[in-house]
């Protein structure tokens, strides 16, 4: 069975970092204070730390999962890495040539997505902007990278986006991508030594409204236009990440322009052997996300 590294709240209300077999309600504690500290280790030492924890006989109850990112670890994202993404961006934009050019260019599109404390985990709500007419989930595989620029794990990201805002002008990308509830990660991350072929993973999505599926789809990492290592190399080219970084790699699943996420929709993103990320939709206004703060006691 695949094991995963998780960040969670224990019975005493404390935040812990552990490793568990997927789906288990208990975890073995890792010998680190937080995930960012784990990401300071080189790949071989990091994987060894995880595997040694699994050998421990002591386990701790997992009361509530938290997103697998903390402290100074940032979340970044790549865009237009699948043919479907290029077509969708061209469809929504008044300047479609921008997306055709970046798809074929040597340099990828990379952008900042979230600081750690603004990320939501599985079971927590994602947000949609009231000033955007078209909002959409973006199911993506996300690379967990240590401070040394090595890919050490894989997780799931929902890069929630305001399509109409970005489509109006590409310079509005930060507003379309960075706001309360726009970044979901989890449920944990699977160490890279647990992945037999990172280019053969199925990514699926389903959106339910009033209990009925209103949009679903599936793709594979085989459809990626770029290599994962290439994206990481560009991200680290003139940037340091002392607490590691999570890089979401773009989506190959985009609904038609008629689709719009609305309050109370439920979005489920799954990746083969990685897990399932489930989030309900809320308005992204400040009062509905006042609970989203750095402390473990954040309540929805």
Q: 98-136 pLDDT, tens per residue?
A: 666 777 888 999 999 999 999 999 999 999 999 999 999
**Cα separation of 285 and 275, whole Å?**
29
Its CATH architecture, for the domain 74-289, is Alpha-Beta Complex (3.90)
**Cα separation of 59 and 175, whole Å?**
42
pLDDT of amino acid 97: 65
Confidence of residue 38 (pLDDT cuts 50, 70, 90): very high
Q: 51-86 pLDDT, tens per residue?
A: 999 998 789 999 999 999 999 999 999 988 886 555
pLDDT of amino acid 300: 65
Q: 149-178 pLDDT, tens per residue?
A: 999 999 999 999 999 998 888 899 999 999
% of the chain exceeding 90 in pLDDT: 79
Query: What is the pTM (predicted TM-score) of this model?
Result: 0.94
Main-chain phi, psi angles of 47, to 5 degrees: -65, -35
Q: Where are the domains of the chain?
A: 3-66, 74-289
């Amino acid at each position: 069975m695949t094991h995963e590294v998780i960040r969670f709240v224990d019975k005493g209300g404390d935040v812990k970092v552990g490793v568990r077999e997927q789906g288990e309600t208990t975890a073995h504690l890792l010998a680190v204070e937080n995930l960012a500290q784990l990401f300071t280790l080189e790949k071989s030492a990091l994987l060894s730390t995880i595997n040694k924890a699994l050998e421990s006989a002591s386990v701790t109850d997992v009361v509530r999962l938290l997103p697998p990112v903390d402290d100074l670890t940032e979340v970044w994202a790549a865009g237009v890495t699948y043919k479907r993404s290029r077509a969708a961006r061209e469809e929504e934009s008044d300047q479609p040539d921008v997306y055709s050019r970046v798809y074929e260019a040597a340099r990828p599109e990379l952008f900042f997505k979230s600081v750690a404390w603004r990320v939501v985990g599985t079971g927590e709500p994602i947000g949609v902007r009231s000033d955007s007419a078209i909002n959409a989930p973006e199911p993506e595989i996300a690379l967990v990278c240590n401070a040394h620029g090595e890919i050490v794990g894989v997780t799931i990201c929902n890069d929630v986006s305001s399509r109409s805002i970005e489509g109006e002008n590409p310079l509005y990308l930060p507003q379309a991508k960075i706001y309360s509830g726009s970044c979901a990660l989890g449920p944990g991350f699977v160490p890279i030594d647990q992945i037999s072929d990172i280019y053969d993973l199925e990514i699926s999505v389903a959106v339910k409204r009033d209990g009925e599926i209103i949009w679903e789809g599936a793709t594979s990492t085989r459809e990626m236009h770029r290599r994962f290592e290439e994206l990481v190399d560009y991200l680290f080219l003139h940037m340091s990440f002392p607490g590691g970084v999570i890089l979401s790699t773009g989506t190959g699943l985009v609904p038609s322009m008629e689709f719009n996420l609305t309050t109370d929709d439920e979005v489920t993103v799954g990746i083969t052997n990685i897990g399932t990320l489930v989030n309900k939709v809320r308005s992204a206004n400040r009062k509905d996300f006042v609970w989203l703060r750095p402390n473990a006691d954040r309540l929805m």
